[in-house]
Protein backbone atom coordinates (compact mmCIF):
# COMPACT_ATOMS: atom_id res chain seq x y z
CA UNK A 1 0.00 0.00 0.00
CA UNK A 2 1.57 3.29 -1.02
CA UNK A 3 1.63 6.42 1.08
CA UNK A 4 -0.57 8.95 -0.71
CA UNK A 5 -0.78 12.70 -0.37
CA UNK A 6 -3.07 15.08 -2.25
CA UNK A 7 -2.20 18.62 -3.25
CA UNK A 8 -3.88 21.62 -4.86
CA UNK A 9 -4.14 21.52 -8.66
CA UNK A 10 -1.27 23.10 -10.58
CA UNK A 11 -0.75 24.56 -14.05
CA UNK A 12 0.68 22.67 -17.03
CA UNK A 13 3.91 24.67 -16.72
CA UNK A 14 4.25 23.83 -13.05
CA UNK A 15 3.63 20.12 -13.74
CA UNK A 16 6.26 20.23 -16.50
CA UNK A 17 8.77 21.66 -14.01
CA UNK A 18 8.12 18.81 -11.57
CA UNK A 19 8.40 16.33 -14.43
CA UNK A 20 11.78 17.79 -15.43
CA UNK A 21 13.00 17.51 -11.83
CA UNK A 22 12.06 13.82 -11.76
CA UNK A 23 13.85 13.24 -15.08
CA UNK A 24 16.95 15.03 -13.75
CA UNK A 25 16.79 12.89 -10.60
CA UNK A 26 16.88 9.71 -12.69
CA UNK A 27 19.46 10.98 -15.20
CA UNK A 28 21.81 12.11 -12.43
CA UNK A 29 21.92 8.54 -11.11
CA UNK A 30 23.03 6.44 -14.08
CA UNK A 31 23.47 2.73 -13.41
CA UNK A 32 21.67 2.97 -10.05
CA UNK A 33 18.51 1.19 -11.24
CA UNK A 34 16.13 4.15 -11.53
CA UNK A 35 13.83 4.64 -14.51
CA UNK A 36 11.53 7.53 -15.41
CA UNK A 37 8.21 6.19 -16.73
CA UNK A 38 5.66 8.51 -18.29
CA UNK A 39 2.06 7.41 -18.52
CA UNK A 40 0.52 10.63 -19.89
CA UNK A 41 2.79 13.57 -20.71
CA UNK A 42 0.84 16.24 -18.84
CA UNK A 43 -0.95 14.01 -16.36
CA UNK A 44 1.18 11.26 -14.80
CA UNK A 45 4.74 10.07 -14.36
CA UNK A 46 6.47 7.51 -12.20
CA UNK A 47 9.95 6.74 -10.96
CA UNK A 48 10.72 3.04 -10.88
CA UNK A 49 13.44 1.18 -9.01
CA UNK A 50 14.48 -1.86 -11.04
CA UNK A 51 11.01 -2.09 -12.56
CA UNK A 52 9.07 -1.47 -9.32
CA UNK A 53 7.17 1.87 -9.01
CA UNK A 54 8.46 3.79 -5.98
CA UNK A 55 7.05 7.27 -6.74
CA UNK A 56 4.07 8.46 -8.78
CA UNK A 57 2.80 11.97 -9.46
CA UNK A 58 -0.66 12.14 -11.05
CA UNK A 59 -2.80 15.11 -12.03
CA UNK A 60 -6.47 14.48 -11.44
CA UNK A 61 -9.36 16.78 -12.26
CA UNK A 62 -9.54 18.40 -8.79
CA UNK A 63 -6.12 17.73 -7.26
CA UNK A 64 -2.63 16.34 -7.64
CA UNK A 65 -1.79 12.94 -6.13
CA UNK A 66 1.68 11.96 -4.95
CA UNK A 67 2.24 8.29 -4.08
CA UNK A 68 5.39 6.81 -2.63
CA UNK A 69 5.80 3.12 -1.85
CA UNK A 70 5.99 2.37 1.87
CA UNK A 71 9.24 0.46 1.33
CA UNK A 72 10.90 3.39 -0.48
CA UNK A 73 13.29 4.08 2.40
CA UNK A 74 14.70 0.54 2.06
CA UNK A 75 14.26 0.00 -1.68
CA UNK A 76 15.27 3.44 -3.00
CA UNK A 77 16.36 5.85 -0.23
CA UNK A 78 17.21 8.61 -2.71
CA UNK A 79 13.59 8.74 -3.91
CA UNK A 80 12.58 9.95 -0.43
CA UNK A 81 14.61 13.10 -1.11
CA UNK A 82 12.86 13.50 -4.48
CA UNK A 83 9.50 13.20 -2.72
CA UNK A 84 10.53 15.93 -0.26
CA UNK A 85 11.65 18.18 -3.12
CA UNK A 86 8.35 17.74 -4.96
CA UNK A 87 6.23 18.12 -1.80
CA UNK A 88 8.02 21.33 -0.83
CA UNK A 89 6.81 22.95 -4.06
CA UNK A 90 3.16 21.94 -3.66
CA UNK A 91 0.31 23.14 -1.50
CA UNK A 92 -1.29 20.22 0.38
CA UNK A 93 -5.02 19.75 0.64
CA UNK A 94 -6.24 19.99 4.21
CA UNK A 95 -7.37 16.84 6.01
CA UNK A 96 -11.06 17.17 5.07
CA UNK A 97 -10.21 17.89 1.41
CA UNK A 98 -8.00 14.79 1.37
CA UNK A 99 -10.83 12.68 2.77
CA UNK A 100 -13.32 14.14 0.27
CA UNK A 101 -10.85 13.46 -2.55
CA UNK A 102 -10.77 9.81 -1.48
CA UNK A 103 -7.11 9.81 -0.48
CA UNK A 104 -6.73 7.23 2.29
CA UNK A 105 -4.32 7.70 5.13
CA UNK A 106 -1.72 4.95 5.42
CA UNK A 107 -3.23 2.44 7.79
CA UNK A 108 -1.22 1.73 10.93
CA UNK A 109 -1.35 -1.98 10.13
CA UNK A 110 0.31 -1.31 6.74
CA UNK A 111 3.17 0.50 8.49
CA UNK A 112 3.56 -2.25 11.11
CA UNK A 113 3.59 -4.95 8.43
CA UNK A 114 6.21 -2.98 6.51
CA UNK A 115 8.42 -2.78 9.61
CA UNK A 116 8.32 -6.56 9.98
CA UNK A 117 8.65 -7.30 6.27
CA UNK A 118 12.41 -7.22 6.62
CA UNK A 119 15.13 -5.76 4.49
CA UNK A 120 14.72 -5.30 0.77
CA UNK A 121 17.16 -7.66 -0.98
CA UNK A 122 20.31 -5.88 -2.19
CA UNK A 123 19.68 -6.97 -5.79
CA UNK A 124 16.40 -5.05 -6.03
CA UNK A 125 17.54 -1.85 -4.32
CA UNK A 126 18.37 1.33 -6.18
CA UNK A 127 21.07 3.86 -5.52
CA UNK A 128 23.54 1.24 -4.34
CA UNK A 129 26.52 0.66 -6.59
Is residue 13 one of the residues assigned to a domain? yes
By the 8 A CB rule, do 43 and 98 touch? no
Work out how many domains the chain is built from and give that number: 1
Model confidence pLDDT, tens digit, residues 59-85: 998 899 999 998 888 899 999 999 999
Kindly give the interhelix angle for 77-88 and 12-27, rounded to the nearest 10 degrees: 160
What is d(CA 38, CA 50) in angstroms, rounded to the nearest whole number?
15
What domain range includes position 115? Answer: 3-124
Overall average pLDDT of the 97-108 stretch? 66
Model confidence pLDDT, tens digit, residues 7-60: 999 999 999 999 999 999 999 999 999 999 998 878 999 999 999 999 999 999
Is residue 129 one of the residues assigned to a domain? no
By the 8 A CB rule, do 55 and 46 touch? yes
Is residue 78 one of the residues assigned to a domain? yes
Amino acid sequence: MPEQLAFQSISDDRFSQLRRQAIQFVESRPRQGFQFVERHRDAEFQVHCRGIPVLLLERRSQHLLLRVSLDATQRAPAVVRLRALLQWQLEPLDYLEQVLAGVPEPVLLDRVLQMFAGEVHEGVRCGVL
